[in-house]
Structure 1
Amino acid sequence: MSPRRGNGGRIDRTRTIRFTFDGRPMTGHAGDTLASALLAGGVSLFGRSFKYHRPRGLLSAGVEEPNALVTVLRGEVREPNIPATTTEIHDGFTAVSQNRFPSLDFDVGAVNGLAGPLISAGFYYKTFMGPVLGPLKGTRFWMICERFIRRAAGLGRAGLAPDTARYERMNAFCDVLVVGSGPAGLMAASTAADSGARVILAELEPRLGGSANWSAETIDGTPASEWSAEAVRDLAGRDNVRLLPRTTVWGYYDDNTIAALERVADHKPAPAKGEPRHRHWTIRSQKVVLATGAFERPLVFPGNDRPGVMLASAAERYAREFGVVTGDKAVLFVNNDGAYAAAAGLREAGGTIAAIVDMRAEISAEARAIAAAAGCEHLTGHAVVGTEGGKALSGVKVQRFDAATRRLSGEPRHLDADCLLVSGGWSPAIHLASQAGTAPRWDDGLQAFLPPAPTQAWLGAGAFNGRFSTAQALAEGISAGLTAAAGKGRPAVAPAVGNAAPFSEPAPVFEVPAKGKAFVDFQHDVTAEDVRLAHREGFVSVEHLKRYTTLGMATDQGKTSNVPGLAIMAETLGKPIPEVGTTRFRPPFAPVSIGALAAERFGDIKPERLTPMHDWHADNGATLYAAGLWLRPQIYGLSGETVDQAYVREARIVREAAGIVDVSTLGKIAVQGPDAAEFLDRVYTNMFSTLPVNKARYGLMLREDGFVMDDGTTWRLGEHDFLMTTTTANAGKVMQHLEYFLDVVWPDLRVHVTSVTDQWAGAAIGGPKAREILAACVTGTAVDNAAMPFMGIVKGDIAGAPVTICRLSFSGEMAFEVYCGAGHGTHVWEALIEAGKPYGLVPYGLEALGTLRIEKGHVTGAEIDGRTTAHDLHLDWMLSKKKPFIGSAMLGREGLVSDERLSLVGLIARDNRPLNGGAHVVDYPDEERPRYSLGHLTAACYSPALGKHIALALIRGGKARHGTRAYISDPLRKRFGEVEIVSHHFFDPEGTRLHG
């Protein structure tokens, strides 16, 4: 391998960088990637292939690299499967090769190559599924082999050490987002910026300028690299432009929402103080300009994966950008004119071109002139049919080839070569457009898929649209910039002129029909024969082909393999490529670090939901704790109070005067439409179509198997307008339940359901003084018994904010639920607090709320645990006999009406000591051998109304055991004691306080 030559416009030769690869000390220069530094250091072997462990070298110079994937080490942290072509080195940088043992040079896994016919596409589906004979008869072969197969699967190995790096999230808004900073992208950004638009320009490379940085072309007579540098300086000086180098736009979502990853500090020995390693951007843009360029395609022929076989454009880029000539004796194998530019570039950089092999018999005069200037052998109408060498290329075999008939003739001949540069044409990088739109369009002339028609506000420019000359790219960049910034003001700059690189249509041939293992997908070891095997085994859909062979999966996403694979499949099917189609590209375009996706949300990353009154609770002494995803007040403790003392005080005051509790967390679902009442009749066990407007009703909801799913109240706000409330824990589950039945079972019903939980703030005010407090602050409506009977609904105002009030109770006291818009929540809450001060009103938390509901025997999620029926909970009075409803068909089943089922009771501790949920109820007084369990406690508390420790429980026998005694057994908490079994209605069973 040759040392560095030429200038290498990207690297700084005055700065030497020291790094290690596989434990070997290496040096490079500032600006080098790991790939360019290793190439300059004489390294040709970069990794081992996925399945056969074949030696692999560099194929590309960019994000499309399928072979040179390495594991980067940062202390104890391992980050696998990173392309060496996009990884910048720095002092102290450390990387290791992957998928080899014990070393890259000597890998015992290479023996897999001898078993090639046995491990072809889908081998694990067919080989390991049969039964085992002999002593292990009856055991599936897979059960024996699984451990070994899983250990061998994959490429890199993830580490177990915690990642100590810092990550960051950002949101941005702009008028125009330009993705890609080649000539088309720079011109689009400049044009849009001239019109006054707010522009963001994102480029995955460290330097903006794209191909202009290493192209031999000129723009307005200026070398392309100088032109791009000036364009970048101009953009950097504008207040309305943000430049994001080292930023990969990886996802295109609805409403022009773009996901991007900025690699802020990967190129540094350590981040600056406060600087993140990666920054994740969510960008919302009015218009998006996709100037993402194109990927050069390899050709498929035997031995095309040997180290030393590289894309022609990659070799030119290494020479011009990094000053690294990839071989002393290069052979080019091409099917298009564009690849001839690489020959010229290599020759200018000091390389030697031994031969150009072109499978086309007829080529352009411009291409012939380049070949003549290179002073090399020029073989048209020929193809490379094999490569020679071991872990490095030593020669190639060429043979006469007729592209029209796809036939070889004559005898193969040998050409000495240490580098084979291939080009099968170009595939526009349409991945983002595919994510945002529909299926791509096939262009027969370019032999490539072009972007689909836009379904969002994006425009394409340059090679993305199949325009492979600088002049075309600049013109399209101006047009895209003008359109994207339409209506912003100033006129755009005049178009620059670039010289067009020679380019004629490629030959429609991607595979050379010679014997030997020819690879289509280098990353996954998918061969041309694997594609044909899939066809023989019935996998004729492109989606099935992808999954059966793994073609174009994982980090590769088909960047280099998709079109050659589809071309082989099309030929096998006897159909044109457009009929075969292509798989849809999905995000991410390139791998994204999990740390960047999580960013600041590490550790316990469950979302925290806060009620509109959260800040008031925090400022007024509330102890907050998680109830599901919500943070809710547990108690409002006074100085020196324990939790138990606080909730007992709060519950007692509610019974004696009044209390207020935040119920914003209750699920709230708008059920609207002409068939809303009919829908609720089917969903609930009781009738709702008879409910008058401005009245509420308690409802019970079952699953299809007859078990209770949820309970709550539903308010009729209009003829076709209902507001359903659910328990906090089941809000999401109920919403899914309703949507399923509307979408799948009853799609004919004219009903819309909408979650409005976050739109409403709610406060429940209850106690003997509740009506007086409400009357003191509500205007626009009366709140007496005539205006608002039990379950009645009125609308009015509190402190100028509109409210909807329903008289219903969870505490068993006279109570009212006050709902207002979430934005008015704290305002209304404070007005109620102020109005209640003369009456002794206190805010109370979940502990007191639980105590009040246990005293009344109301059920919650502790009792509605997925195993209880309406009969078990003594709610069978709510089961309508006039209509069917979800779950009604199951109610008479023997198992659901058995006397042995657990049913709801109340328990009172005879020793007046605390009880705990989860304890068992037994009927034998021996603490050491409590024997048979009758059931268990679901919830327990100290009741200030009764002055006793009480609990709700589910036990066998239920009502029949009222008035008897049993024992609670709680060995983990060392509690055993006698209890009395009573009705679950401990307090005011007649409901006189509720209706007073």
Structure 2
Amino acid sequence: MTARRLPTGGTINRDRPLRFTFDGKDYVGFAGDTIASALIAANQRIIGRSFKYHRPRGFFAAGSEEPNGVVDVMVDGRLSPNERATMVALREGMVVRSVNASPTAEADRKSFLDRFSRFIPSAFYYKTFIFPNWHLYDGSIRAMAGLGTIDPDWRKDAPSRQINQSVDLLVVGMGPAGLAAALAATGEGKQVMLVDERSEAGGAARHHDAEVTIDGLTVSDWIEQTVAILGERGALLLTNTTAFGIYDHGLVALNQRHGDGQPDTLWRVRPRETVLATGAIERPLPFAENDLPGILSVDAALFYLKRKAILVGETIVLATNNSATDGAALALAEAGASVTLIDQRSQRPVLSHPRIRLFSGRRITAAKGKRAVGAAILDDGTEIACDCLLVSGGYTPTVHLYSQAKGKLTFDERLQAFVPEATIDGIRVVGAAAGAMTLAEILKDRTISATTPYEMETAWPEAGKKGRIWIDYQHDVTAKDVELAARENFISVEHLKRYTTLGMANDQGKTSNMNGLALMAAITGRSIAETGTTTYRPPFTPVSLQSFAGSRSGPLFNPVRRLPLEQQHRADGAVFLEYGGWLRPAYFGKGVPDEEIRREVLAARQSVALFDGSTLGKIEVIGPQAAEFLDFMFYNTVSTLKPGRCRYVFMLTETGVVYDDGVVVRLSDNHFVVSCSTSHVAGVHAALEDWRQDRFDRKKIFIHNATPNWATLTVTGPRSRDLIDASGIKADLDDASLPHMAITDGYFGADAVRVARVSFTGDRSYEISIRADRAETLWGHLKQVGRGFDACLMGSEALLLLRAEKGYLIVGKDTDGLTRPSDLGLDGPLKNKTVEFVGRRSLMMEAARDENRQQFVGLEVADGGEMLPAGAHSVERLSGRHRSTGYVTSSYMSPTLGKPIALGLVERGLSRMGEIIDIRHFGTMRKARIVTPCFLDPKGERLHA
């Protein structure tokens, strides 16, 4: 390839030269160049090495379909690995390095591997490295695998933006088809968003149809006029933006590249309708050595000529099987190249130009050259010298996004390609992506100057041909590899893909899929339609992990949630710790922590304490099927709960394991509130949503997580009722109307409140829920009134100790990933509940009924020592060694009882009450007695005192 920059033309800014390096060598490009165009203009032929054989590779394409031009890019001290050189705008000072090459692409030390290619075909590693043990080779093979280099010292300077967008219409692709669809939609008053992965609107029409007129305007003028009208109508246009995936419920994900050092932006777009105007990809032609540097697609050569003012060669051979390449041959000849046009079609128009030589009815069978193409050999043996070989095997509609949306494909015999079979709800495919290969077909309602109809002949690879015919450039897959897969019965296209790696990884089969599956069809005697195609998966092109992460890194990876009353608690001397993702008061006061916690516990037991419980879940479930739904979701029966009453419930996983416990409140027949534990709010909400969609009518159940909207302030202790009576809350708080596990509505001033009598301490308690933005006033009033009752502010540590005295468990602390309800002594619902619920079948399995399961119990110190260490194991001696039979889950020194208490999970614990067991911790042995978990007020009299 003897490429050169033309003195005029293109969209580059010749007044802004940009210096950069590639593999340590200095180069100069211009503003408006991509890395690829700057290297091609500098006649840099070898830009990388193939994945397996380390063959020299040059650029083949000009867009995201480029299989060879993958490079690592360093700019402003930041490394971005595995970038497509065709898609990265050139910047001053860029340091570009080839991947999979050492030390450079030109002088790769591993190039010798190509000499042994016959011994390392597809899947050779599955067979070769099985003896004596795969793990002997694992490290070395993994070290050789992969492309690009990761900077271990990489640090994110600025977070990537993530934007959520809703529009009436999203148009993917700003070629004439996409622009026309957007123009029509904006004319109807719709909110429209257009995106295109290139740096400018217009698509391939910018270089393919420059001489065509639309409604009397040149293509370029029509594009500029249309873009201006769309802007005036309020459409949002994003260039350098790739729609890389379509997900559930029509969500379209976009990756916007900024090219100025800013991290990419991730867009999550939820359109009412999506139009896919994604164009088509030019296929390579199959012939021996068709991967040599200097072999490009015709489309790429025309793009570099028209948009970047680069002539890709002086002596060009252009091989084609279709009518879409004549314009490129003329344009290259007009630019000064000598063009030999090899058209396998016997019947084709004469192309008259002094620098064009035409061979009709001929095919290329091989390329010739050592480090780059130097000649093309025809099927009659003719050898034609060239410094650049351009190929076009026809066009494949870009249906990746359509397929991701579960669209079905059908094979079009005229195009010899798969096209969308039918319109998907909410998604339309237009333009070349739908099989319309000319402007006249795309813009039927406009006046288009004469265009050549698209015609082609098949040019698929054939089995048994001599030489190495490359099917997948990126993964070193040849026609012989496909034949080998067929011989070993991997004839399904999905098996072919995995056996050979054809179309895998970031390439996603853009240039390789059709040739590969056509060859498999020929080998197996099937049609291409019968052979089918693989399933395209997102992303369409690779997306930076930084873009997915967005701002979720460092302290924002799992941001701490804050109470509405945080500043008030700080003013009252609270010491904060994190609980379940929330920053909450652990205790109040500046003294010794254990003493402050002891003080709070005693005050709560003897008088009254105030506690901020705003973090508790408040998930509303509303609708005519709400009761039935909650019966299914919880281990306990919910539908029998009366309005105004509460019930303690368990949520199980499908394996029957306890996932969360909490309280369900029934406000009315069709209105419930699920008050789950702090750390499980998001998980419970997600589980409710998942099961609602799975088996219930979504129009009859509505779920709303109102946790952030309400603050819950708890008053607990023997004098809690007195404090509530004096607080001025207007509600019916009489014990007959509001017994334990009941709820009522009321007012504090003009603010609506809910007052629930539920307790996590074992004493009479009231939970008052109020709008979060009104909580400060109520909290201040409760503190003021509480002074007359010796009220104490209480933190989470005291609450945890109070609940342990009562034997109230905390899911995740006093349970593990195997704990089932029967391990807690709760078999009733399993025996009595008649309707299906999540986890029920798993509770009937043999493992769930194992007599040796670890069960929830209380543990008393039996050796006169101090409190048992949390995490210490209960052990038994077996064959001279200790075996763990459980462990201590919670352990405290009880201020109320004046002795240590503990909770734990112990094998067969519920049937071993009173038994003394061994407790081992770091080699130290202790004695403990198994008792019921409730150490205080087992009859529950304090709840009603």
Please give the range of the TM-score, normalised by the shorter of the 2 chains. Answer: 0.7 to 0.9
Structure 1 Cα separation of the partners of residues 424 and 25 of structure 2: 51
Work out whether residues 902 and 954 of structure 1, in 8 Å CA contact, stay in contact via their aligned partners in 2.
yes
Residue aligning to 1:317: 303
Do structure 1's residue 291 and structure 2's residue 277 form an aligned pair?
Answer: yes
Work out whether residues 209 and 232 of structure 1, in 8 Å CA contact, stay in contact via their aligned partners in 2.
no
Do structure 1's residue 415 and structure 2's residue 384 form an aligned pair?
Answer: yes
Residue aligning to 1:200: 193
Q: CA deviation at 1:935?
A: 6.7
Q: How does 1:67-146 map to 2 (within 5 A)?
A: 67-74=68-75, 77-129=78-130, 131-132=131-132, 140=133, 142-146=134-138
Q: 1:938-990 deviations in whole A, cap 9, x for unaligned?
A: 3244544345665445578979796989998679xxx9999999764343333
2:403 counterpart (387, 410, 434): 434
Q: How does 1:544-555 map to 2 (within 5 A)?
A: 544-555=495-506
Work out whether residues 700 and 710 of structure 1, in 8 Å CA contact, stay in contact via their aligned partners in 2.
yes
2:321 counterpart (332, 335, 338): 335
Residue aligning to 1:838: 785
> Structure 1 residues 620, 226: CA separation in 2 closer, same or farther (over 3 Å shift)?
same
2:800 counterpart (850, 857, 860): 850
Q: 1:402-441 deviations in whole A, cap 9, x for unaligned?
A: xxxxxxxxx4221112211111111222322333351233
Structure 1 Cα separation of the partners of residues 203 and 691 of structure 2: 53
Residue aligning to 1:561: 512
> Structure 1 residues 663, 28: CA separation in 2 closer, same or farther (over 3 Å shift)?
closer
Q: 1:810-867 deviations in whole A, cap 9, x for unaligned?
A: 10111234567xxx34436854763564244555332121121122222223221246
> 3-state SS of the aligned residue for 2:374?
strand
Structure 2 Cα separation of the partners of residues 254 and 828 of structure 1: 39
Work out whether residues 621 and 673 of structure 2, in 8 Å CA contact, stay in contact via their aligned partners in 1.
yes
Do structure 1's residue 219 and structure 2's residue 199 form an aligned pair?
Answer: no
Structure 2 Cα separation of the partners of residues 942 and 387 of structure 1: 84
Work out whether residues 521 and 531 of structure 2, in 8 Å CA contact, stay in contact via their aligned partners in 1.
yes
Do structure 1's residue 887 and structure 2's residue 843 form an aligned pair?
Answer: yes
Do structure 1's residue 766 and structure 2's residue 720 form an aligned pair?
Answer: no
> Structure 1 residues 256, 376: CA separation in 2 closer, same or farther (over 3 Å shift)?
same
2:364 counterpart (346, 367, 384): 384
Do structure 1's residue 425 and structure 2's residue 394 form an aligned pair?
Answer: yes
Do structure 1's residue 540 and structure 2's residue 487 form an aligned pair?
Answer: no
Structure 1 Cα separation of the partners of residues 922 and 585 of structure 2: 25
Instruction: List alignment gaps of at least 5 residues for structure 1.
Output: 133-139, 400-410, 477-494, 925-929
Structure 1 Cα separation of the partners of residues 200 and 673 of structure 2: 56
Work out whether residues 793 and 807 of structure 1, in 8 Å CA contact, stay in contact via their aligned partners in 2.
yes
Q: 1:428-487 deviations in whole A, cap 9, x for unaligned?
A: 2232233335123332212222335333434444323333333444457xxxxxxxxxxx
Structure 1 Cα separation of the partners of residues 402 and 823 of structure 2: 56
Structure 2 Cα separation of the partners of residues 174 and 719 of structure 1: 38
Structure 2 Cα separation of the partners of residues 224 and 691 of structure 1: 70
Work out whether residues 853 and 907 of structure 2, in 8 Å CA contact, stay in contact via their aligned partners in 1.
no
Do structure 1's residue 594 and structure 2's residue 545 form an aligned pair?
Answer: yes
Residue aligning to 1:210: 203
Q: CA deviation at 1:396?
A: 1.0
Which amino acid is the alignment partner of residue 785 of structure 2?
P
**Deviating more after overlay: 732-741 vs 75-84:** 732-741
Structure 2 Cα separation of the partners of residues 197 and 743 of structure 1: 30
2:243 counterpart (234, 249, 252): 249
> 3-state SS of the aligned residue for 2:486?
helix
> Structure 1 residues 415, 957: CA separation in 2 closer, same or farther (over 3 Å shift)?
closer
> 3-state SS of the aligned residue for 1:592?
coil
> 3-state SS of the aligned residue for 1:505?
coil
Q: CA deviation at 1:887?
A: 2.8
Residue aligning to 1:228: 223
Do structure 1's residue 662 and structure 2's residue 623 form an aligned pair?
Answer: no
Q: CA deviation at 1:602?
A: 1.5
Do structure 1's residue 521 and structure 2's residue 472 form an aligned pair?
Answer: yes
> 3-state SS of the aligned residue for 1:570?
helix
Structure 1 Cα separation of the partners of residues 510 and 300 of structure 2: 14
Which amino acid is the alignment partner of residue 228 of structure 1?
I
> Structure 1 residues 545, 964: CA separation in 2 closer, same or farther (over 3 Å shift)?
closer
Which amino acid is the alignment partner of residue 198 of structure 2?
E
Structure 1 Cα separation of the partners of residues 196 and 489 of structure 2: 42
Structure 1 Cα separation of the partners of residues 45 and 221 of structure 2: 32
Do structure 1's residue 576 and structure 2's residue 530 form an aligned pair?
Answer: no
Residue aligning to 1:626: 578
Which amino acid is the alignment partner of residue 279 of structure 1?
T
Structure 2 Cα separation of the partners of residues 32 and 955 of structure 1: 70
Residue aligning to 2:344: 359
Do structure 1's residue 499 and structure 2's residue 446 form an aligned pair?
Answer: no
Which amino acid is the alignment partner of residue 69 of structure 1?
V
What TM-score results when the alignment is normalised by the length of structure 2? 0.86
Work out whether residues 58 and 69 of structure 2, in 8 Å CA contact, stay in contact via their aligned partners in 1.
yes
> 3-state SS of the aligned residue for 1:896?
coil
Q: CA deviation at 1:296?
A: 1.1
Q: How does 1:510-909 map to 2 (within 5 A)?
A: 510-511=460-461, 514-608=465-559, 610=561, 613=564, 623-628=575-580, 630-635=581-586, 637-638=588-589, 640-641=590-591, 643-655=593-605, 656-662=607-613, 664-666=615-617, 680=631, 684=635, 694-699=644-649, 710-715=660-665, 726-729=676-679, 756=705, 758=707, 761=710, 762-774=712-724, 782-795=732-745, 805-818=755-768, 824-827=771-774, 830-831=777-778, 834=781, 837-840=784-787, 844-860=794-810, 861-866=812-817, 875=825, 887=843, 890=846, 895-896=851-852, 903-907=857-861
Work out whether residues 781 and 795 of structure 1, in 8 Å CA contact, stay in contact via their aligned partners in 2.
yes
Residue aligning to 2:934: 985
Structure 2 Cα separation of the partners of residues 891 and 520 of structure 1: 52
Q: 1:117-162 deviations in whole A, cap 9, x for unaligned?
A: 4332322233323x43xxxxxxx2x222222221222222322121
> Structure 1 residues 392, 837: CA separation in 2 closer, same or farther (over 3 Å shift)?
same
RMSD over aligned CA atoms reads: 4.3
1:148 counterpart (120, 140, 144): 140
Q: CA deviation at 1:570?
A: 2.5
Identity %: 34
> Structure 1 residues 117, 501: CA separation in 2 closer, same or farther (over 3 Å shift)?
farther
Residue aligning to 1:995: 944
> Structure 1 residues 987, 585: CA separation in 2 closer, same or farther (over 3 Å shift)?
same
Work out whether residues 385 and 512 of structure 1, in 8 Å CA contact, stay in contact via their aligned partners in 2.
no
> 3-state SS of the aligned residue for 2:265?
strand
Q: 1:660-679 deviations in whole A, cap 9, x for unaligned?
A: 33154348585988896799
Q: CA deviation at 1:785?
A: 2.1
Work out whether residues 636 and 646 of structure 1, in 8 Å CA contact, stay in contact via their aligned partners in 2.
yes
Q: CA deviation at 1:897?
A: 6.7
Work out whether residues 336 and 507 of structure 1, in 8 Å CA contact, stay in contact via their aligned partners in 2.
yes
> 3-state SS of the aligned residue for 2:542?
coil
Structure 2 Cα separation of the partners of residues 626 and 452 of structure 1: 54
Q: CA deviation at 1:576?
A: 2.8
> Structure 1 residues 340, 842: CA separation in 2 closer, same or farther (over 3 Å shift)?
farther
Q: CA deviation at 1:787?
A: 1.6
> 3-state SS of the aligned residue for 2:6?
coil
Which amino acid is the alignment partner of residue 256 of structure 2?
E
Structure 1 Cα separation of the partners of residues 582 and 235 of structure 2: 41
Do structure 1's residue 917 and structure 2's residue 870 form an aligned pair?
Answer: yes
Q: CA deviation at 1:197?
A: 4.4
Q: 1:689-726 deviations in whole A, cap 9, x for unaligned?
A: 87666544445677798876654444566779876655
> 3-state SS of the aligned residue for 1:288?
strand
Do structure 1's residue 450 and structure 2's residue 450 form an aligned pair?
Answer: no
> Structure 1 residues 623, 198: CA separation in 2 closer, same or farther (over 3 Å shift)?
farther
Instruction: List alignment gaps of at least 5 residues for structure 2.
Output: 835-839
Which amino acid is the alignment partner of residue 904 of structure 1?
G
Which amino acid is the alignment partner of residue 917 of structure 1?
A
Which amino acid is the alignment partner of residue 572 of structure 1?
I
Residue aligning to 1:58: 59
Work out whether residues 730 and 747 of structure 2, in 8 Å CA contact, stay in contact via their aligned partners in 1.
yes
Structure 2 Cα separation of the partners of residues 283 and 702 of structure 1: 34
> 3-state SS of the aligned residue for 1:251?
strand
